[in-house]
Structure 1
Amino acid sequence: MTNIYFIRHGKTEWNLEGRYQGANGDSPLLEQSYIEIQQLIKALKSIKFDAIYSSPIKRAKDTANLINTGLNQNLDVILNDNLEEFHLGKMEGMKFTDVAVQYPEELDAFRNHPDKYDPKNINGETFQALLKRMVPTIKKIVDQNKIDANIIIVSHGAALGALIHDLLGVPLKDFRKQGGLSNTSTTILETQNGTEFELVKWNDTSYLDRIRDESDVV
């Protein structure tokens, strides 16, 4: 059984400010995030990992490199463009409150009704396009690693939420029913064949020494 540990990057300045980052926006990890990533590493330390893959966007790459260094298991972080966050077009860098005023339909659909999300007006990426690049990437990663591998994937909140639900066979309209993923969270799926996936753990932050708040979740 292969276990995939999907990890959302550490919290950033824009996360704290309530801004959309997307694939073409970015901001530094908060100082607190370095402490929280060490707490995550401590929780993972007893597991022997076979590979670490990451989005190339700096906030994810920095998180992945810190995890890799902390685990000290002689692995290389493998960067893959297909693990990037949603391309959010005009919403990137904007505060959620401003998006709610300028693009209320897009915001509501993106957060609550993925099956109705049409990003043409904001020059963004559809859920279908995101899944077309991410799902085959995960299946290829499973196929390239040994049976019973433990694999870390470091990526982004909205992208990982969509990806994980699709791998579990959840209909698009229900992608948001469990809510979003927190910064520095771990969601674990297992698979025997890289085709069917089962949920082991969802959005785990039990190892973090703080209470989750609204700015943690995407």
Structure 2
Amino acid sequence: MSIKKVYLIRHGQTDYNLESIVQGSGVDSNLNATGRRQAELFYEKYKHIPFDKVYTSTLQRSMQSVQGFIDLGIPHEQHTGLNEINWGTREGTRITPEEDAYYHSILQTWCDGNTDICIEGGESPDLVYQRQTPVIDLILSRPEEETILICMHGRAMRVMLCQLLRYPLRCMDEFQHQNLCLYELDYTGSMFSVNKYCDVTHLQPSRV
């Protein structure tokens, strides 16, 4: 049985990341200089991989992070189902102590198992899970795509990893992420396994 290999990455750094401003699905930011360098380093490390398809969200920071692979002529699809969670009224605002306290209370609510609760004006993890499911089903319905690259966003990535690895959504914070980190997974046709977990070794300067 052939194994489908999935390289799942988070987008590179943006100024919003650097300045602690909430992004989410409603803020279509660009990579900053550090983020572009992270994308270059990932490309240099993995350009030899024979990807059959590149999947991204519809947000620029996601596409810019894998532009090197798209420029090689690898087929590329964008899906809104891969967009970041909608953080509602917090999107585009700097995190204040009060906002941080509310944010952590929402995270605790989700960790307690109440993943149907939406952040004010935004989405819940359950809603993100539901919009991701058709994209995952589409990807898994294509056996001819044996090796794929997916670039998306931090919270949405945590939701997807729960879905792929059959974890309850209340456990999503067990999956760490950093800008341009990599999860490498194998799919046997019935289950996923993890080969690399939040790997960022490609971002470390090489030593001669």
TM-score, structure 1 normalization: 0.84
Which residue among 173, 176, 181 is the counterpart of 1:176?
A: 173
Task: Name the stretch that deviates more: 99-108 or 40-49.
Answer: 99-108
The separation in 1 between residues aligned to 2:102 and 2:157, in whole angstroms, is 26
Encode CA deviations 1:132-157: one digit per residue, 9 max, x unaligned.
1113312311212416x110111111
Encode CA deviations 1:69-114: one digit per residue, 9 max, x unaligned.
2xx2x2132111111110111121222335225555225445xx26
In structure 2, list runs of 5 or more residues that go unmatched: none
Q: Secondary structure at the match of 2:93?
A: coil
Task: Name the stretch that deviates more: 100-109 or 86-95.
Answer: 100-109
Corresponding letter in the other structure for 2:58: P
The separation in 2 between residues aligned to 1:66 and 1:46, in whole angstroms, is 12
Q: Which residue of structure 2 aligns with residue 106 of structure 1?
A: 106
TM-score, structure 2 normalization: 0.87
Q: Secondary structure at the match of 2:100?
A: helix
Identity of aligned pairs, percent?
Answer: 25
CA RMSD of aligned residues (A): 2.1
> Would the alpha carbon gap of residues 133 and 121 (structure 1) be closer, same or farther in structure 2, given more than 3 Å must change?
closer
Verify: 1:153 aligned to 2:150, yes or no. Answer: yes
Does structure 1 retain, via aligned residues, the 8 Å contact 2:115–2:126? no
Does structure 2 retain, via aligned residues, the 8 Å contact 1:99–1:107? no
Q: Which residue of structure 2 aligns with residue 5 of structure 1?
A: 7
Corresponding letter in the other structure for 1:99: E
Q: Secondary structure at the match of 1:122?
A: coil
Which residue among 119, 122, 128 is the counterpart of 2:120?
A: 122
Q: Which residue of structure 2 aligns with residue 53 of structure 1?
A: 55
In structure 1, list runs of 5 or more residues that go unmatched: 211-218
Which residue among 143, 153, 173 is the counterpart of 2:141?
A: 143
**4+ long deviations beyond 4 Å:** 101-104, 117-121
Encode CA deviations 1:183-217: one digit per residue, 9 max, x unaligned.
11111111122x4211111111001037xxxxxxx
Q: Secondary structure at the match of 2:174?
A: coil
The separation in 1 between residues aligned to 2:148 and 2:172, in whole angstroms, is 23
